[in-house]
Amino acid sequence: MDRTGISRREALKILGAAALSGPSGLWPGPAFASRQEAARPNIVFILTDDHRWDHLGCTGHPFVKTPRLDRLASQGVLFENAFVTTSLCSPSRAGFLTGQYAHTHGVQNNLTPWRDENVTFLERLKQAGYDTAFIGKWHMPGRLPRLRGVDEFVTFTVREGQGRYYDCPLIVNGRETRPNKPYITEELTDRALAYIGQPRPNPFCLYLSLKAAHHDWQPPEDLTGLYRDEKLPLAEEADTWVTMTNGGVWAGTAG
């Protein structure tokens, strides 16, 4: 149960209704138009990278400022109890897209590639009459995917799979292009807002995948030094973690 009183099961029912109430006309007539529209909401999925769940204003962090995310949480659904089955970048990304465990979708670590036969929730929503877009960081091994059911696909080039915070080249629907904004979060956000603002007869689903706040932690110039005077204590396990990452199995990877 989240703070709005909506349970995880109820939230999934809403998404399921969106996927099932496709253009084939499951509702019997015009009198049900408003009900059909309510069952097919626009969906915006925002993924931040290497972002601790408790480093948000809405989860009670003492000094981290996330006003826009806090507003989304206050007006939407905030899950406060969640678990990750494979705590690595690529398997988690594949899990978000497919709803499957790593042993099913096949991306079991940061070295195993995405399978083009995987079915994403974007594909299911497209089949149900949604317009769909993926904007941002893909970061799974191998070539860029053939994502079925995605109308607009904007991501980093293969050679920039991890992306850059500044002046990051993009692939926009298969064509390489230069960014319009120097800072990648602003570039991706502008593209997302442009997509949301497009007039369309259909509901839409936007998957916005940001690079921040992944290493190497380069803020936009106007926010540099925002937390200069704050002290962030190390976790009790910090010394153990440093030892593991210096010599562990993932040492030297782009995790």
Residues involved in catalysis: 89, 139
Q: In what order do the strands lie in the sheet with 170-172?
A: 43-47, 204-209, 131-136, 152-156, 170-172, 175-177
φ and ψ at residue 230, rounded to 5 degrees: -95, 150
Residues near 148 by beta carbon (within 8 Å), at least 6 away in sequence: 119, 120, 123, 126
145-154 long-range contacts, CB within 8 A, separation 24+ = 145/114, 145/116, 146/116, 147/120, 147/122, 147/123, 148/119, 148/120, 148/123, 149/120, 149/122, 149/123, 149/124, 149/125, 150/120, 150/122, 150/123, 150/126, 151/126, 152/195, 154/188, 154/191
Distance CA 113, CA 105 (A): 10
What are 187's two structure tokens? 């570039």
What are 57's two structure tokens? 């204003």
Residues near 207 by beta carbon (within 8 Å), at least 6 away in sequence: 45, 47, 97, 122, 132, 133, 134, 135, 136
